[in-house]
Amino acid sequence: MNDNTTAPGEARVHVSLGERSYDILIGPGLIASAGQQIAARLPGIRAAIVSDENVADLYLEKLGESLSRAGIESTSIVLPAGEKTKNFEQVIAVSEAVLAARLERGDAVIALGGGVVGDLSGFVAGIVRRGMNFVQIPTSLLAQVDSSVGGKTGINTSHGKNLIGVFHQPALVLADADVLDSLSGREFRAGYAEMAKYGLIDQPDFFAWLEKNWQQVFAGGAPRIHAIATSCQAKADVVAADEYEGGKRALLNLGHTFGHALEAATGYDSGRLVHGEGVAIGMVLAHEFSTRMNLASPDDAQRVAAHLRAVGLPTQLSDIEGTLPPPDILLEHIAQDKKVKRGKLTFILTRGIGQSFVADDVPISEVLGFLKEKYTQ
């Protein structure tokens, strides 16, 4: 199979960025054919595969064999699993391992894992030797429809999530639909939240389709491929129009300002809250806050919450296990989020389903008042 061929059951999304353009392939069995796909685009490379302990046990050997069959020599770097891995210490460790393997700028870092592995590996690929080739093989639904696409990489600090990073586009994304069957129900639901986000941003017909077909998406097969491809196309279109998040790309942060603050407030404890769950609650909060600001009907917020609840996602603060810090502390996390410019709060708000927009200079007092109301519900 060459890079212009799509096998039966596969979908292809092209991210158009001039010299940095690349394909996203979505379909079954892509890890087994990864070596052939990568070699067709990056001939003659050597590679470092970065994975985590959980994913490595399932798929690292299969990927290594696929690379070997295609003549790609590889070394493996296995990290601890979990959000807390996205830190400077691991960036240093992975960078040193890549250099110790004597990989050159023209070689590749391959991320085999979920969003944590992809974000950290992409950051390393962006800074080691001032920029190496990067390939994403996302193994979670969340990574397949969101973090693996668009070139945003980074790590967390005590000040907040993804505050250190670079834009570094991959050369290829391989979204193997088969690996999603190994996800827990919670992990799949967390990824689904990002999928629903695309409908809520500017594709109301897709959101309506998900409301009717979400059970088939969960079951797998053609509806799942369709939903992933639609999500990737939505993100690819936005990235092509605004690669460095100067304008329209900010819409992809719907639900994320609230969601990132909740992740920070729970200490990035995945037992209490994972990223997609924070986004789910954040999207409901964004719609409810839009209602408070007289921008949208309360019916829209109720519709969003009803669908996410039906899927099994959390939709309100009380759904988070344990005690949250008080509203003013949560507001500090919001103010620290990367969507803040020169001290002014920026939110993605909405005028209805599929009618999101960037709201600059949102009054802090309104946000604090809203949070205080939410804490009492």
Active site residue 253: yes
Is 332 annotated as catalytic? no
Backbone dihedral angles phi then psi of residue 32, each to the nearest 5 degrees: -65, -30
All structural domains of the chain with their residue ranges = 11-182, 185-375
Q: Is 86 a catalytic residue?
A: no
Residues 110-149 as b/e (b if ≥16 CB within 10 A, e otherwise) read bbbbbbbbbbbbbbbbbbbeeebbbbbbbbbbbbbbbbbb
Of the candidates 86, 161, 168, 275, the residue annotated as catalytic is 275
Among 133, 156, 162, 253, which one carries the catalytic annotation?
253
Is 294 known to be catalytic? no
For this structure, is 245 an active site residue?
Answer: yes
Give the pTM.
0.92
The one catalytic residue in 83, 133, 152, 224 is 152
Q: pLDDT at position 247, please?
A: 86
Any catalytic annotation for residue 260?
Answer: yes
Predicted confidence pLDDT, tens digits, the chain (377 residues): 334 456 778 999 999 999 999 999 999 999 999 999 999 999 999 999 999 999 999 999 999 999 999 999 999 999 999 989 999 999 999 999 999 999 999 999 999 999 999 999 999 999 999 999 999 999 999 999 999 999 999 999 988 889 999 999 999 999 999 999 999 999 999 999 999 999 999 999 999 999 999 999 999 999 999 999 999 999 999 999 999 988 889 999 999 999 999 999 999 898 999 999 999 999 999 999 999 999 999 999 999 999 999 999 999 999 999 999 999 999 999 988 655 666 678 899 999 999 999 998 898 899 999 999 999 87
Q: Which of 249, 303, 333, 338 is catalytic?
A: 249
- Please say if 256 is a catalytic residue: yes
Asked if 161 is an active-site residue, the reply is no
Task: Please tell me which residue in 10, 83, 187, 194 is annotated as part of the active site.
Answer: 194
- At 157, the amino acid letter reads T
Active site residue 159: no
Instruction: Give the pLDDT score at 268.
Output: 87
Quote the pLDDT of residue 5: 52
CATH of domain 11-182: 3.40.50.1970
pLDDT of residue 1: 35
Nearest to residue 64, comparing CAs of 53, 73, 77, 55? Answer: 73
CATH number for region 185-375: 1.20.1090.10
Rounded alpha-carbon distances, angstroms, from residue 157 to 68, 164, 274: 37, 8, 17
**Residue 321 falls in the annotated catalytic set:** no
